[in-house]
Amino acid sequence: MEYKPIRTYVKRQGRLTKAQKIAIEVNGKSFLIEFKEELLQEEQLFLTEQPICFEIGFGMGGATHKIAQNNSDTNYIVTDVHQPGIGNLIKLSNADNLTNIKIIPHDALEVLRFMIKDSFLSKVNIFFPDPWHKKRHNKRRLVNNENLNLIISKLVDGGILHIATDWEPYALEIIEAIKTRDNLTLITNNFHERPDCRPETKYESRGMRLGHEVWDILATKG
């Protein structure tokens, strides 16, 4: 049967600034990886072999840039489909000469399915995925049972899954889904304390001003 994914995002047609456009055109070759239906080889990506973190959706890239900048002992493969954010992350990363970050401008689930080897990733970050509030849209949520199985298969034993959301029903659904799995274990019960490894995002700041409580959910494989 042909694989037909359910899209978990809406592709926003944001306008590229001049700086973002130049970053993609001039420096994109240093950071962008083309989507292909073939497995990535780590030695083709980074200068040094070290643990790999995979991020699904990075918005405008500010938090992702800080994480990669502050953790030079980790390599980052990050995915998003929105050109302004891609351009901005390239601009930020190039300005700081980061060599531990690569961007795949494609659907993250397809990247995981076709390009990432099993037991390859030390961590997966999913920060503020679209909660798809309406019940009829719940099937489009990124974190569901099928996608969790895919993500878990790509983590090494002891690897970390870190999900942040400001939508309580979604957070509770994610927590329950994790609890039903023998190969995932929650490693925190204080879901409202932001860990040091995750910088505050612009989206998060806006949500907190609106009174939204943020949930940080961390689990380990094994």
Give the residue ranges of DSSP H helices in the chain.
18-22, 28-31, 62-70, 83-95, 108-115, 145-154, 168-179, 202-209
Active site residue 130: yes
**CA 132, 134, 135: angle at the middle one, nearest 5?**
105
CA quadruple 189, 195, 201, 204: dihedral, nearest 10 = 30
**Which of these is catalytic: 96, 130, 157, 166?**
130
Q: CA-based diameter of the chain, in Å?
A: 49
Tell me the angle at which helices 108-115 and 145-154 cross, rounded to the nearest 10 degrees.
50
Residue type, 152: I
In 3D, which of 88, 114, 113, 116 has the Cα closest to residue 31? Answer: 88
Residues identified as active-site? 130
